[in-house]
């Protein structure tokens, strides 16, 4: 059983992929883009906070029984002034020998430093006794949707102190769509899908402190993204991207992920994306019969860049996303397996992104908006990263 902790996908209908387009508007063209894009006033389009989740919350702990499975949570705080990110991952899994495992991991960008605590002999039954709630205790660390506090003791004996408060705002869905809080919609708790993905905080605010052997940081109302995965197996490959900070656009937040649904050859592929825009919310999901004409990850060796291209079309709207990140700044991420933690993905936490939204007009697409970000988190894992020589 191979797992990642925070990202990925769903669905049962295959999606087609093709070569990337030429939409690559980054550093040299960013000023020109800003001049030609209609100005959007932050006061005119603020971010309205969501109605809270009611009823069952997929962000809570699941009880997946005694067969092999996993569950993990992912937090990402981003400082727009410095382009610095902190990612906290917490996960547990039950392997095929019915042994419980877990780990905590704090990733710093731009240093690429990873602080990791491996937990052996985790009592999975005691964790899952709290199913339905998200109040996770790992060693001396306690995690929930709105609070992270405690001490992480790294595998090399170092201490990491974390004390963070999270103020909820934009969850998945529009601000008043209280029935659209499940990222995967109807398939969120459906049986047979080997991995599930759920975003709880599409855009929240996080404040507090992080102290590591390297440095100490005070976070004050920084944008936060928090999501989770759970299931019984993980795709052989995947991509994932997320940004809730676009230049001059507090109203915009975005996340997408996808890859083969089942961990076997010739598996159908599933993709999903969600965009919060001017207090509206758009989704693109394979299992809702939407299409993804372009999904690609490749290496631009001439410019030493990793590049992602993601295009989704639902019945009324089209989204185009182009991302690039310096190849040498990719961070290798661990994933849990039956053989323990292994390198399984690469991630960048301040990638440059151009996102363009279109609306259908007959048989063509009419431009609606173009948004740029220098703070996108993006990932590629499994065979898609391994084939490029990015992980062993």
Q: Which two tokens stand for residue 388?
A: 């490029």
Query: What integer pLDDT is reported at residue 15 of this predicted model?
Result: 35
Residue 4 lies in a domain: no
Q: Is the pLDDT of residue 189 over 50?
A: yes
Residue 58 lies in a domain: yes
Q: Compute the distance between CA of residue 125 and CA of residue 324 in angstroms, rounded to an integer.
A: 42
Query: What integer pLDDT is reported at residue 40 of this predicted model?
Result: 53
N-term to C-term CA, the chain = 18
Q: Compute the distance between CA of residue 285 and CA of residue 314 in angstroms, rounded to an integer.
A: 8
Residue found by looking up tokens 């002999």 in the block: 121
Q: Is the pLDDT of residue 13 over 60?
A: no
Query: What integer pLDDT is reported at residue 173 of this predicted model?
Result: 96
Q: pLDDT tier at 3 (50, 70, 90 boundaries)?
A: very low
Q: Compute the distance between CA of residue 118 and CA of residue 19 in angstroms, rounded to an integer.
A: 40
Residue 391 lies in a domain: no
Please, are residues 117 and 154 in contact by the beta-carbon 8 Å criterion? yes
Q: Compute the distance between CA of residue 59 and CA of residue 154 in angstroms, rounded to an integer.
A: 26
Averaged pLDDT of the chain: 89
Ramachandran quadrant class, 218 (left: phi over 0; alpha: psi -120 to 50; beta: rest): beta
Query: What integer pLDDT is reported at residue 10 of this predicted model?
Result: 33
Report which of 222, 384, 383 is spatially closest to residue 295, judged by C-alpha positions: 384
Q: Which two tokens stand for residue 152?
A: 């992480």
Q: Which two tokens stand for residue 133?
A: 């709630």
Residue 221 lies in a domain: yes
Q: Which two tokens stand for residue 26?
A: 């980054």
CB-facing half-sphere around the CA of 88: CA atoms within 13 A: 25
Q: pLDDT tier at 44 (50, 70, 90 boundaries)?
A: confident
Whole domain around residue 364: which residue ranges?
27-386
Comparison of pLDDT for 203 and 338, the residue scoring more:
203
Average pLDDT (337-355) is 90
- Per residue in 296-311, pLDDT (tens digit) is 999 999 999 999 999 9
Query: What integer pLDDT is reported at residue 337 of this predicted model?
Result: 74
- Per-position b or e across 29-62, b if 16+ CB within 10 A of its CB: eeeeeeeeeeebeeeebebeebbebeeebbbbbb
Backbone angles phi, psi at 280, to 5 degrees: -110, 165
Peptide bond into 161 cis (omega under 30): no
- Per residue in 360-385, pLDDT (tens digit) is 999 999 999 999 999 999 999 999 99
Residue 6 lies in a domain: no
- Per residue in 257-284, pLDDT (tens digit) is 999 998 888 899 999 999 999 999 999 9
Query: What integer pLDDT is reported at residue 235 of this predicted model?
Result: 80
Q: Which two tokens stand for residue 268?
A: 């159908």
Residue 275 lies in a domain: yes
Comparison of pLDDT for 22 and 94, the residue scoring more:
94
Q: pLDDT tier at 27 (50, 70, 90 boundaries)?
A: low
pTM: 0.90
Query: What integer pLDDT is reported at residue 304 of this predicted model?
Result: 97
Query: What integer pLDDT is reported at residue 101 of this predicted model?
Result: 93
Give the torsion sign (CA, 162, 165, 170, 172): positive
Report which of 122, 141, 152, 114 is spatially closest to residue 334, judged by C-alpha positions: 114
Report which of 6, 2, 77, 7 is spatially closest to residue 259, judged by C-alpha positions: 7
- Per residue in 126-143, pLDDT (tens digit) is 999 999 999 999 999 999
Query: What integer pLDDT is reported at residue 39 of this predicted model?
Result: 52
Q: Is the pLDDT of residue 123 over 60?
A: yes
Q: Is the pLDDT of residue 253 over 90?
A: yes
Count how many domains the chain has: 1
Q: Which two tokens stand for residue 140?
A: 């001396």
Q: What angle do CA 319, 376, 12 make, to 5 degrees?
A: 50
- Per-position b or e across 320-345, b if 16+ CB within 10 A of its CB: bbbbbbebebbbbbbbbbeeebeebb
Q: Compute the distance between CA of residue 108 and CA of residue 352 in angstroms, rounded to an integer.
A: 18
Q: pLDDT tier at 200 (50, 70, 90 boundaries)?
A: very high
Residue found by looking up tokens 């092999």 in the block: 68
Residue 51 lies in a domain: yes
Q: Is the pLDDT of residue 28 over 60?
A: no
- Per residue in 327-339, pLDDT (tens digit) is 999 999 988 776 7
DSSP 386: H
- Per residue in 133-185, pLDDT (tens digit) is 999 999 999 999 999 999 999 999 999 999 999 999 999 999 999 999 999 99
Q: pLDDT tier at 238 (50, 70, 90 boundaries)?
A: very high
Residue 243 lies in a domain: yes
Please, are residues 16 and 293 in contact by the beta-carbon 8 Å criterion? yes
């Amino acid at each position: 059983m191979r797992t990642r902790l925070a990202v990925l996908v769903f669905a049962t209908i295959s999606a087609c992929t093709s070569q990337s387009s030429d939409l690559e508007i980054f550093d040299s063209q960013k000023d020109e883009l800003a001049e030609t894009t209609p100005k959007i006033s932050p006061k005119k389009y603020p971010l309205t906070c969501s109605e809270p989740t009611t009823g069952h919350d997929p962000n809570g702990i699941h009880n997946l029984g005694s067969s092999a499975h996993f569950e993990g949570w992912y937090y990402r705080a981003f400082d727009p002034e410095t382009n610095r990110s902190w990612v906290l991952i917490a996960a547990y899994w039950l392997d095929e020998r019915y042994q419980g495992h877990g780990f905590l991991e704090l990733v710093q960008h731009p240093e690429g430093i990873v602080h990791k605590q491996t937990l052996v002999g985790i009592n999975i039954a005691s964790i899952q006794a709290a199913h339905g709630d998200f109040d996770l205790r790992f060693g001396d660390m306690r995690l929930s949707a709105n609070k992270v506090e405690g001490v992480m003791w790294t595998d090399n004996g170092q201490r990491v102190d974390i004390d963070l408060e999270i103020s909820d705002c934009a969850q998945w869905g529009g601000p008043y769509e209280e029935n659209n809080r499940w990222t995967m919609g109807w398939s969120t708790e459906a049986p047979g899908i080997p991995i599930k993905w759920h975003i709880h905080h599409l855009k929240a605010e996080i404040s507090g402190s992080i102290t590591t052997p390297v440095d100490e940081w005070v976070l004050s109302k920084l944008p936060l993204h928090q999501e989770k995965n759970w299931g019984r197996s993980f795709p052989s490959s995947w991509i994932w991207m997320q940004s809730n900070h676009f230049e001059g656009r507090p109203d915009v937040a975005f996340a997408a992920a996808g890859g083969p649904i089942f961990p076997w050859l010739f598996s159908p592929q599933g993709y999903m994306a969600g965009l919060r825009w001017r207090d509206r919310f758009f989704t693109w999901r394979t299992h809702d019969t939407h299409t993804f004409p372009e999904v690609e990850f490749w290496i631009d060796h001439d410019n030493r860049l990793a590049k992602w291209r993601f295009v989704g079309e639902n019945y009324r709207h089209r989204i185009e996303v182009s991302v690039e990140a310096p190849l040498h700044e990719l961070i290798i991420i661990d994933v849990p397996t039956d053989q323990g933690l292994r390198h399984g993905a690469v991630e960048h936490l301040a990638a440059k992104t151009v996102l363009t939204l279109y609306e259908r007009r007959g048989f063509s697409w009419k431009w609606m908006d173009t948004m740029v970000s220098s703070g996108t988190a993006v990932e590629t894992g499994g065979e898609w990263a391994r084939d490029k020589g990015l992980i062993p």
